[in-house]
Amino acid sequence: MDIYFLGTGAGMPSTTRNVSSLALRLTEERGTFWLFDCGEGTQHQLLHSPLKMSKCEFIFITHLHGDHLFGLPGFLSSRSYQGGQTPLTVFGPKGIGDYMKVCFGVSRTEVSYPLLIKEIEPGVVWEDDQFIVTAMQLSHRIPTLGYRIVEKDRPGKLKFELLRDKGIPPGPVYGQLKQGKDVQLPNGELLFATSVLGEPLPGRTVAILGDTKPCDNAVRLARNADLLVHEATYMHDKADNANEYGHSTAQQAAEIAREAGAKKLALNHFSSRYKEGEQMDELLTEAQSVFPNTVLALEHHVVTIAEGAEGTA
Protein backbone atom coordinates (compact mmCIF):
# COMPACT_ATOMS: atom_id res chain seq x y z
CA MET A 1 0.00 0.00 0.00
CA ASP A 2 1.56 3.27 -1.07
CA ILE A 3 0.99 6.69 -2.62
CA TYR A 4 2.28 7.51 -6.09
CA PHE A 5 2.46 11.25 -6.73
CA LEU A 6 1.50 12.24 -10.27
CA GLY A 7 1.35 16.01 -9.85
CA THR A 8 2.61 18.16 -6.99
CA GLY A 9 2.47 21.73 -8.31
CA ALA A 10 0.09 24.50 -7.25
CA GLY A 11 -2.13 26.47 -9.60
CA MET A 12 -0.54 25.68 -12.94
CA PRO A 13 2.00 23.25 -14.36
CA SER A 14 5.69 24.08 -14.61
CA THR A 15 8.59 22.45 -16.42
CA THR A 16 9.23 20.19 -13.41
CA ARG A 17 5.78 19.73 -11.83
CA ASN A 18 2.31 18.91 -13.03
CA VAL A 19 -0.81 20.06 -11.20
CA SER A 20 -2.54 18.08 -8.48
CA SER A 21 -3.08 14.35 -8.65
CA LEU A 22 -1.97 11.33 -6.64
CA ALA A 23 -2.79 7.64 -6.62
CA LEU A 24 -3.34 5.51 -3.55
CA ARG A 25 -2.23 2.02 -4.58
CA LEU A 26 -4.11 -0.51 -2.49
CA THR A 27 -3.20 -3.96 -1.27
CA GLU A 28 -1.60 -6.37 -3.69
CA GLU A 29 -4.58 -8.70 -3.32
CA ARG A 30 -7.01 -5.96 -4.39
CA GLY A 31 -4.80 -4.88 -7.29
CA THR A 32 -6.43 -1.49 -7.85
CA PHE A 33 -5.73 2.16 -7.13
CA TRP A 34 -7.75 5.20 -6.15
CA LEU A 35 -7.04 8.59 -7.70
CA PHE A 36 -7.24 11.76 -5.62
CA ASP A 37 -7.74 14.85 -7.79
CA CYS A 38 -7.16 14.86 -11.51
CA GLY A 39 -5.54 18.07 -12.70
CA GLU A 40 -4.86 18.80 -16.35
CA GLY A 41 -2.31 16.39 -17.80
CA THR A 42 -2.90 13.61 -15.27
CA GLN A 43 -3.37 11.01 -17.99
CA HIS A 44 -0.02 12.05 -19.51
CA GLN A 45 1.63 11.54 -16.11
CA LEU A 46 0.05 8.10 -15.90
CA LEU A 47 1.67 7.13 -19.19
CA HIS A 48 5.06 7.67 -17.52
CA SER A 49 4.09 5.62 -14.47
CA PRO A 50 3.49 1.92 -13.74
CA LEU A 51 -0.22 2.65 -13.21
CA LYS A 52 -2.86 1.46 -15.66
CA MET A 53 -6.08 3.43 -16.12
CA SER A 54 -8.06 0.20 -16.25
CA LYS A 55 -7.05 -0.50 -12.63
CA CYS A 56 -8.52 2.76 -11.30
CA GLU A 57 -11.47 1.96 -9.05
CA PHE A 58 -12.46 5.34 -7.57
CA ILE A 59 -11.61 9.01 -8.12
CA PHE A 60 -11.98 11.41 -5.19
CA ILE A 61 -12.05 15.11 -6.09
CA THR A 62 -11.26 17.52 -3.26
CA HIS A 63 -12.66 20.69 -4.87
CA LEU A 64 -13.61 22.24 -8.18
CA HIS A 65 -10.62 24.48 -8.88
CA GLY A 66 -9.24 23.71 -12.32
CA ASP A 67 -5.79 22.57 -11.20
CA HIS A 68 -7.51 19.70 -9.37
CA LEU A 69 -10.18 18.91 -11.96
CA PHE A 70 -9.43 19.78 -15.59
CA GLY A 71 -7.85 16.40 -16.36
CA LEU A 72 -10.92 14.42 -15.34
CA PRO A 73 -12.89 14.35 -18.64
CA GLY A 74 -9.83 13.25 -20.60
CA PHE A 75 -8.93 10.56 -18.08
CA LEU A 76 -12.44 9.10 -18.05
CA SER A 77 -12.62 9.11 -21.84
CA SER A 78 -9.17 7.59 -22.35
CA ARG A 79 -9.88 4.85 -19.82
CA SER A 80 -12.25 3.25 -22.34
CA TYR A 81 -9.52 3.15 -24.98
CA GLN A 82 -7.03 1.76 -22.44
CA GLY A 83 -9.16 -1.32 -21.83
CA GLY A 84 -11.03 -0.15 -18.75
CA GLN A 85 -14.27 -2.12 -18.46
CA THR A 86 -14.79 -2.33 -14.70
CA PRO A 87 -17.06 0.19 -12.93
CA LEU A 88 -15.60 3.50 -11.77
CA THR A 89 -17.08 5.99 -9.31
CA VAL A 90 -16.14 9.66 -9.10
CA PHE A 91 -16.75 11.27 -5.71
CA GLY A 92 -16.71 15.04 -5.36
CA PRO A 93 -18.40 18.11 -3.92
CA LYS A 94 -21.64 19.59 -5.22
CA GLY A 95 -21.19 20.74 -8.80
CA ILE A 96 -19.07 17.82 -10.02
CA GLY A 97 -22.17 16.30 -11.65
CA ASP A 98 -22.97 19.47 -13.62
CA TYR A 99 -19.33 19.78 -14.69
CA MET A 100 -19.20 16.26 -16.09
CA LYS A 101 -22.64 16.57 -17.72
CA VAL A 102 -21.52 19.66 -19.64
CA CYS A 103 -18.09 18.23 -20.58
CA PHE A 104 -19.47 14.93 -21.84
CA GLY A 105 -22.58 16.49 -23.36
CA VAL A 106 -20.84 19.16 -25.41
CA SER A 107 -18.07 16.79 -26.56
CA ARG A 108 -20.52 13.88 -27.07
CA THR A 109 -18.20 11.64 -25.08
CA GLU A 110 -19.32 8.13 -24.20
CA VAL A 111 -17.51 5.58 -22.05
CA SER A 112 -17.63 1.80 -22.35
CA TYR A 113 -17.79 1.04 -18.64
CA PRO A 114 -20.30 1.79 -15.84
CA LEU A 115 -19.52 5.31 -14.58
CA LEU A 116 -21.11 6.85 -11.52
CA ILE A 117 -20.66 10.53 -10.59
CA LYS A 118 -21.52 10.95 -6.91
CA GLU A 119 -21.84 14.34 -5.21
CA ILE A 120 -21.02 13.94 -1.54
CA GLU A 121 -21.44 15.70 1.78
CA PRO A 122 -19.09 15.47 4.77
CA GLY A 123 -19.27 12.12 6.51
CA VAL A 124 -18.65 8.51 5.52
CA VAL A 125 -18.63 8.44 1.70
CA TRP A 126 -17.56 4.83 1.08
CA GLU A 127 -17.24 1.59 3.03
CA ASP A 128 -16.65 -2.03 2.14
CA ASP A 129 -15.13 -5.01 3.95
CA GLN A 130 -11.60 -3.57 3.62
CA PHE A 131 -11.78 0.23 3.81
CA ILE A 132 -13.83 3.13 5.11
CA VAL A 133 -13.48 6.62 3.61
CA THR A 134 -14.60 9.74 5.47
CA ALA A 135 -14.73 13.29 4.08
CA MET A 136 -14.58 16.53 6.04
CA GLN A 137 -14.84 20.16 5.02
CA LEU A 138 -11.58 22.13 4.96
CA SER A 139 -10.90 25.88 4.83
CA HIS A 140 -10.27 27.17 1.31
CA ARG A 141 -11.73 29.80 -1.01
CA ILE A 142 -14.38 27.38 -2.29
CA PRO A 143 -15.90 24.27 -0.68
CA THR A 144 -13.07 21.78 -0.30
CA LEU A 145 -12.92 18.28 1.14
CA GLY A 146 -10.20 16.30 2.83
CA TYR A 147 -10.34 12.51 2.97
CA ARG A 148 -9.45 9.99 5.66
CA ILE A 149 -8.94 6.43 4.43
CA VAL A 150 -8.93 3.75 7.10
CA GLU A 151 -7.98 0.19 6.31
CA LYS A 152 -9.88 -2.24 8.50
CA ASP A 153 -7.95 -4.73 10.62
CA ARG A 154 -6.87 -7.80 8.67
CA PRO A 155 -6.48 -11.45 9.68
CA GLY A 156 -3.12 -12.24 11.26
CA LYS A 157 -0.31 -14.16 9.61
CA LEU A 158 -0.64 -17.89 9.05
CA LYS A 159 1.15 -20.19 11.46
CA PHE A 160 2.87 -22.24 8.77
CA GLU A 161 4.64 -24.61 11.19
CA LEU A 162 1.35 -25.55 12.79
CA LEU A 163 -0.17 -26.32 9.37
CA ARG A 164 2.83 -28.41 8.38
CA ASP A 165 2.58 -30.35 11.64
CA LYS A 166 -1.02 -31.16 10.69
CA GLY A 167 0.22 -32.45 7.32
CA ILE A 168 -1.53 -29.74 5.33
CA PRO A 169 0.56 -28.83 2.24
CA PRO A 170 0.60 -25.32 0.78
CA GLY A 171 -2.30 -24.72 -1.59
CA PRO A 172 -5.80 -23.22 -1.81
CA VAL A 173 -6.50 -24.14 1.83
CA TYR A 174 -3.79 -21.70 2.92
CA GLY A 175 -5.46 -18.90 0.98
CA GLN A 176 -8.87 -19.59 2.51
CA LEU A 177 -7.48 -19.68 6.03
CA LYS A 178 -5.53 -16.47 5.44
CA GLN A 179 -8.82 -14.79 4.53
CA GLY A 180 -10.22 -15.89 7.87
CA LYS A 181 -12.40 -18.67 6.44
CA ASP A 182 -12.80 -21.95 8.28
CA VAL A 183 -11.90 -25.04 6.21
CA GLN A 184 -13.09 -28.64 6.29
CA LEU A 185 -10.15 -30.99 5.70
CA PRO A 186 -10.37 -34.23 3.65
CA ASN A 187 -10.48 -36.28 6.87
CA GLY A 188 -13.61 -34.41 7.94
CA GLU A 189 -11.90 -32.22 10.54
CA LEU A 190 -13.13 -28.63 10.67
CA LEU A 191 -10.11 -26.36 10.90
CA PHE A 192 -10.95 -22.98 12.40
CA ALA A 193 -9.04 -20.09 10.86
CA THR A 194 -8.61 -18.45 14.27
CA SER A 195 -6.61 -21.47 15.44
CA VAL A 196 -3.92 -21.04 12.77
CA LEU A 197 -3.79 -17.25 12.50
CA GLY A 198 -1.77 -14.85 14.59
CA GLU A 199 -3.08 -11.64 16.11
CA PRO A 200 -5.08 -9.45 13.68
CA LEU A 201 -2.96 -6.96 11.79
CA PRO A 202 -3.99 -3.37 12.50
CA GLY A 203 -5.17 -1.48 9.43
CA ARG A 204 -3.38 1.59 8.14
CA THR A 205 -4.76 5.13 8.00
CA VAL A 206 -4.02 7.79 5.39
CA ALA A 207 -5.24 11.38 5.40
CA ILE A 208 -5.23 13.17 2.03
CA LEU A 209 -6.10 16.82 2.26
CA GLY A 210 -7.15 19.21 -0.46
CA ASP A 211 -6.14 22.87 -0.53
CA THR A 212 -6.63 24.39 2.90
CA LYS A 213 -5.59 26.86 5.53
CA PRO A 214 -4.87 25.38 8.96
CA CYS A 215 -8.17 24.27 10.48
CA ASP A 216 -9.57 21.90 13.10
CA ASN A 217 -10.84 19.41 10.53
CA ALA A 218 -7.35 18.99 9.12
CA VAL A 219 -6.27 17.78 12.56
CA ARG A 220 -9.31 15.52 12.88
CA LEU A 221 -8.67 13.90 9.50
CA ALA A 222 -5.00 13.30 10.33
CA ARG A 223 -5.48 12.05 13.91
CA ASN A 224 -2.94 9.22 14.47
CA ALA A 225 -2.66 8.65 10.71
CA ASP A 226 0.20 6.55 9.40
CA LEU A 227 0.60 9.13 6.65
CA LEU A 228 -0.69 12.67 6.20
CA VAL A 229 -0.53 14.27 2.75
CA HIS A 230 -0.77 18.04 3.23
CA GLU A 231 -0.29 20.97 0.92
CA ALA A 232 2.67 23.32 1.45
CA THR A 233 2.13 26.01 -1.14
CA TYR A 234 4.49 28.49 0.53
CA MET A 235 7.30 28.82 3.02
CA HIS A 236 6.40 30.60 6.23
CA ASP A 237 7.76 33.99 5.19
CA LYS A 238 4.76 34.02 2.81
CA ALA A 239 2.22 33.18 5.52
CA ASP A 240 0.14 36.26 4.64
CA ASN A 241 -0.09 35.09 1.03
CA ALA A 242 -1.06 31.61 2.18
CA ASN A 243 -3.83 32.96 4.38
CA GLU A 244 -5.16 35.29 1.67
CA TYR A 245 -5.48 32.51 -0.89
CA GLY A 246 -6.61 29.74 1.46
CA HIS A 247 -3.37 27.79 1.57
CA SER A 248 -0.80 26.58 4.11
CA THR A 249 2.91 26.99 4.63
CA ALA A 250 5.33 24.11 5.16
CA GLN A 251 5.59 25.07 8.83
CA GLN A 252 1.81 25.10 9.24
CA ALA A 253 1.49 21.67 7.61
CA ALA A 254 4.09 20.33 10.03
CA GLU A 255 2.22 21.84 12.96
CA ILE A 256 -0.95 20.05 11.83
CA ALA A 257 0.92 16.74 11.62
CA ARG A 258 2.42 17.25 15.09
CA GLU A 259 -0.90 18.22 16.69
CA ALA A 260 -2.68 15.28 15.05
CA GLY A 261 -0.09 12.74 16.18
CA ALA A 262 0.49 11.58 12.60
CA LYS A 263 3.40 9.22 12.03
CA LYS A 264 4.62 10.69 8.75
CA LEU A 265 4.01 13.84 6.68
CA ALA A 266 4.32 14.17 2.91
CA LEU A 267 4.22 17.71 1.55
CA ASN A 268 2.86 18.57 -1.89
CA HIS A 269 1.15 21.39 -3.87
CA PHE A 270 4.21 23.63 -4.12
CA SER A 271 4.22 27.11 -5.59
CA SER A 272 6.23 27.40 -8.81
CA ARG A 273 8.32 30.08 -7.08
CA TYR A 274 10.23 27.24 -5.38
CA LYS A 275 12.66 25.57 -7.78
CA GLU A 276 14.11 22.10 -7.45
CA GLY A 277 17.27 22.02 -5.37
CA GLU A 278 18.18 24.49 -2.67
CA GLN A 279 14.79 26.23 -2.46
CA MET A 280 12.92 22.96 -2.03
CA ASP A 281 15.49 21.81 0.51
CA GLU A 282 14.77 24.97 2.52
CA LEU A 283 11.03 24.25 2.40
CA LEU A 284 11.66 20.73 3.67
CA THR A 285 13.97 21.98 6.43
CA GLU A 286 11.29 24.41 7.58
CA ALA A 287 8.81 21.57 8.02
CA GLN A 288 11.30 19.16 9.58
CA SER A 289 12.22 21.69 12.25
CA VAL A 290 8.65 21.20 13.54
CA PHE A 291 7.91 17.62 12.45
CA PRO A 292 11.08 15.64 11.68
CA ASN A 293 9.44 12.74 9.82
CA THR A 294 8.56 14.85 6.78
CA VAL A 295 9.28 14.17 3.11
CA LEU A 296 8.75 16.15 -0.07
CA ALA A 297 6.36 14.53 -2.55
CA LEU A 298 7.90 15.19 -5.95
CA GLU A 299 6.78 14.01 -9.38
CA HIS A 300 6.64 10.19 -9.62
CA HIS A 301 7.71 9.96 -5.98
CA VAL A 302 6.40 7.00 -3.96
CA VAL A 303 5.69 6.95 -0.24
CA THR A 304 5.02 3.50 1.22
CA ILE A 305 2.58 2.95 4.07
CA ALA A 306 4.17 -0.09 5.64
CA GLU A 307 2.36 -2.66 7.76
CA GLY A 308 2.76 -1.99 11.45
CA ALA A 309 5.49 0.61 10.92
CA GLU A 310 6.12 4.09 9.68
CA GLY A 311 6.08 4.50 5.93
CA THR A 312 9.34 4.93 4.08
CA ALA A 313 9.95 7.16 1.14
Could you give the 3-state DSSP secondary structure of residue 194? helix
State yes or no: 230 annotated in a binding site. Answer: no
Tell me the C-alpha to C-alpha distance, in Å, between residue 147 and each of 93, 246, 297. Answer: 12, 18, 18
Provide the 8-state DSSP code for 156: -
Within 8 A by CB and 6+ apart from 295, the residues are 264, 265, 266, 267, 284, 301, 303, 313
Q: Is 67 a catalytic residue?
A: yes
Asked if residue 5 lies in contact with residue 46, where contact means CB atoms within 8 angstroms, the answer is no
Amino acid symbol at 8: T
State yes or no: 48 annotated in a binding site. Answer: no
Asked if residue 147 lies in contact with residue 207, where contact means CB atoms within 8 angstroms, the answer is yes
User: Measuring CA to CA, which residue among 257, 258, 282 is closest to residue 270?
Assistant: 282
Q: What residue spans of 120-277 are helical by DSSP H?
A: 160-165, 172-178, 193-196, 216-222, 239-245, 250-260
Considering only CA atoms, give the Rg of the chain. 21
State yes or no: 301 annotated in a binding site. Answer: no
Measured distance CA(30)–CA(5) in Å, rounded: 20
State yes or no: 67 annotated in a binding site. Answer: yes
Could you give the 3-state DSSP secondary structure of residue 149? strand
Measured distance CA(129)–CA(109) in Å, rounded: 34
| Per annotation, catalytic residue among 37, 67, 216, 240 | 67
State yes or no: 269 annotated in a binding site. Answer: yes
Q: Point out the annotated binding site.
A: 63, 65, 67-68, 140, 211, 269
Q: Point out the annotated binding site for Zn(2+).
A: 63, 65, 67-68, 140, 211, 269
Residues catalogued as catalytic: 67
